[in-house]
Amino acid sequence: MSGTHEKVQQHYDDIAELYDSRYNQSRGKAYYRHISRHVLARIPHGKRILDLGCGTGLFLKAYEEQGGCGTGLDISRGMLDKARSRCTASDVTLGNAEILPFRNDSFDAVTSLLAFSYVHRPEDLLSEAWRVLRPGGSLAICTLGKHFLTSGLPAVYTVAEVIKLRRIGMGAFGERYYDRSEMTGLLEDAGFSEITINRCSFAHLNLVDPLFGLAKKLEPIVEEKIPHLAYNILASGKKTP
């Protein structure tokens, strides 16, 4: 495992409890449910999925509630401990999303929420996702996209690491953010077809009240009419039989 992977692993081991609380309460819960609905709309229900960077199992649990099951993979043992207790119908395993420990044609869908930016070799992750998908299977990835609101985040995170700020994602981990053309190219190169790239989520959980409430009301309009203002990029595709 590379030094950066070890940093990410240690960071999320340390803040697993904080992460779970952040995305399972108040604004964080509303934000995570919103992006989860976008991902759920891109994959079949009641099947078997692989969730990469599964964290504490929040998305896996949402998928279980729709009659499916799956496997979650993450590099953090602390996060997986939470996921294991939450997801009663699914399995979780420790691993690197760029080298998947699964057989070919094992899953009906591969998903990833808020983890793709940490991947240093995205082409390897997508190639592996293609390999483990069954013919006709779906891929859906939601992560922070590249735009004017996220361009300064790496510098902010570097400062946060220097002052030892204990917040989720606050560290110099070499994150990468992608725009529509970059994500389209990555999925095409991996062999996916029926590729769709959208922006989603205007009401980010870091917004303070009453801004969060206002952003939540405007979110449907932003996503439909001015999507370049949305924080996240959602990329999906199919493994054509």
pTM listed for this prediction: 0.89
Q: What are phi and psi of 100, to 5 degrees?
A: -80, 135
Contact 73, 54 (CB under 8 A): yes
**For residue 152, what pLDDT is reported?**
54
**For residue 155, what pLDDT is reported?**
47
Distance of CA 147 to the CA centre of its chain: 18
Query: Considering only the top CATH level, what class is 3-238?
Result: alpha beta
Start-to-end C-alpha separation, the chain: 34
**For residue 2, what pLDDT is reported?**
56
Torsion angle defined by CA atoms of residues 33, 38, 42 and 43, in that order, rounded to the nearest 10 degrees: 0
**For residue 216, what pLDDT is reported?**
94
**For residue 54, what pLDDT is reported?**
97
Contact 121, 93 (CB under 8 A): no
Contact 49, 39 (CB under 8 A): no
Q: Where are the domains of the chain?
A: 3-238
Residues of the chain with pLDDT under 50: 155-156, 158-162, 168-170
Question: CA triplet 180, 119, 100: central angle to 5 degrees?
Answer: 115
Distance CA 60, CA 23 (A): 14
Contact 161, 170 (CB under 8 A): yes
**For residue 204, what pLDDT is reported?**
81
Q: Minimal CA–CA distance to 138: which of 215, 52, 48, 42?
A: 42
Give, to the nearest 10 degrees, the angle between helix 122-132 and helix 180-190: 50
